A and B are shown apart, each in its own frame.
Chain A
Amino acid sequence: MEHGEGGLRGGMRDGAPISLASLLLGTSFGVLAEPVMGTVAPVVMSAIVFAGSAQFGALAVLAAGGGAGAAIAAGVLLNMRYLPMGISIAASTHGGWLRRGLAAQPLIDAGWAMSYRGEGRYDVPYMWGVTVVNYPMWVGGTAIGVLAGDLIGDPERLGLDALFPAFFLGLLVGEATEGRRGWVAALLGATLALTLAPFTPPGVPIMTACLAALIALVPNGDDS
């Protein structure tokens, strides 16, 4: 993706098209969550958790009759990738510890991947910009899904569960794989995740896939 403009405004502009996907995904979360959690809780969850995979993961546990402990465990594991992602942007945040910790709160997968500027640096205001436009669409979409679930029906029938892999593929081909090592890391990460998925709780495969980035430690003369 071209980055004509950095900073908050650039992130808002580049994040706007994505926010349509956020709206649809938020809607499908609302549709699926309403029978399990009622009308208010799903919207509050989108507003204060604001993490799609963890919300879907925790919802799946609650829908299957699991308790809060199991739902929290699933959500926390699905969110564990934000630990290395947070560490990765640390050097791009400024100020005291509280300010830096707060600067990381708008961290989402898309904004994080899009705000990378190479050399270990992230455009953190740009990342905020992506979140600023996506947040209302995610929360608003959830509200639409909760209220209009009967009209919308089964989100899977509309193919909405195919949205987010397609979207992340766009980030992968557009941003994240400049150079051969990027593709090797991607293949290795996907392989690790799929190998672990049948045997580990949700979230562990994604977290473990981070280890694929350690191929950077392998010396390679013709590194692209």
Chain B
Amino acid sequence: MSSEWITILALCGTLVVTKGVGPAALGDRDLPPLFTRIIDLLAPAILAALIAVGTFTNADGDLVLDARAAGLAAAAAVYAVSRKSILLAVGAAAVTAALVRAIA
């Protein structure tokens, strides 16, 4: 089997386990309040890290400042006006990044 098919099957199998093991092992028992407060903050921490790495690092993990930062700034400007305009913000980000690349 070629390396891409091995990769695909392995990632499929490991992801099923990664997603499922928590719920399967823990069940629907009630959580201690402290755990609930940690979960409260998990989404902001993960989302911010995804944004930061997706915008300010290249494929090698080095810190970079490029057209994606301009795109993110455009999205932030849209959200500053309207928090719910996700589609508009995403479109503005793509167009801005494309324009910056076209000019640069």
Contact A189 B54 (CB under 8 A): no
Q: Decide if the interface of chain A is mainly helix, strand, loop or mixed.
A: helix
Contact B11 A51 (CB under 8 A): yes
Tally inter-chain residue pairs, CB-CB below 8 A: 325
Provide the bound-state CA to CA distance between A112 and B57, in Å.
Answer: 24
| Chain B residues in 8 Å Cβ range of A183 | 44
Judge whether A130 is part of the interface by a CB distance below 8 angstroms: no
| Chain A residues in 8 Å Cβ range of B50 | 53, 109, 164-165, 168, 206
| Chain A residues in 8 Å Cβ range of B44 | 172, 176-177, 182-183, 185-186, 189, 212
Judge whether A147 is part of the interface by a CB distance below 8 angstroms: no
A130 to chain B minimum Cβ distance, whole angstroms, is 13
- When C-beta atoms are compared, the residue in chain A nearest to B30 turns out to be A91
Within 8 A of A (CB), among B50-66: 50-57, 59, 61-63
| Chain B residues in 8 Å Cβ range of A148 | none
| Chain B residues in 8 Å Cβ range of A37 | 4
Judge whether A86 is part of the interface by a CB distance below 8 angstroms: yes
Contact A101 B36 (CB under 8 A): no
Contact B6 A190 (CB under 8 A): no
Provide the bound-state CA to CA distance between A97 and B41, in Å.
Answer: 26
Contact B51 A210 (CB under 8 A): no
Per-residue CB contact flags for chain B residues 1-23 toward chain A (1 = under 8 Å, else 0) read 00111111011101110111111
- When C-beta atoms are compared, the residue in chain A nearest to B16 turns out to be A105
Contact A169 B95 (CB under 8 A): no
Contact B18 A79 (CB under 8 A): yes
A98 to chain B minimum Cβ distance, whole angstroms, is 7
Within 8 A of B (CB), among A71-97: 71-72, 75-76, 79-94, 97
Per-residue CB contact flags for chain A residues 174-195 toward chain B (1 = under 8 Å, else 0) read 1111000111011111111110
A41 to chain B minimum Cβ distance, whole angstroms, is 5
Contact with B53, one of A48, A93, A118, A193 (Cβ below 8 angstroms): A193
Contact status of A49 and B93, CB under 8 A, knowing A89-B22, A101-B23: no
Within 8 A of A (CB), among B40-81: 40-57, 59, 61-63, 67-68, 71-72, 74-76, 79
CB-defined A-B contacts under 8 Å, sample of 24: A17-B86, A49-B11, A49-B12, A54-B15, A75-B7, A85-B19, A88-B39, A89-B22, A94-B28, A97-B24, A159-B93, A159-B96, A162-B68, A165-B55, A169-B76, A170-B89, A172-B47, A188-B45, A189-B44, A191-B52, A192-B49, A199-B61, A200-B61, A206-B46
Q: Which residues of B contact A (CB under 8 A)?
A: 3-8, 10-12, 14-16, 18-31, 34-57, 59, 61-63, 67-68, 71-72, 74-76, 79, 83-87, 89-90, 92-99, 101-102
Q: Given contacts A97-B27, A162-B67, list 19 more A-B pairs with CB under 8 A.
A: A44-B8, A51-B11, A85-B22, A87-B26, A107-B19, A118-B40, A162-B75, A162-B93, A165-B55, A167-B90, A169-B47, A173-B83, A174-B83, A181-B41, A185-B45, A194-B56, A197-B53, A213-B39, A216-B41
Which 10 residue pairs are nearest across A and B when measured between Cβ atoms?
A162-B71, A101-B20, A120-B36, A189-B45, A209-B49, A166-B93, A159-B97, A159-B98, A86-B22, A87-B22
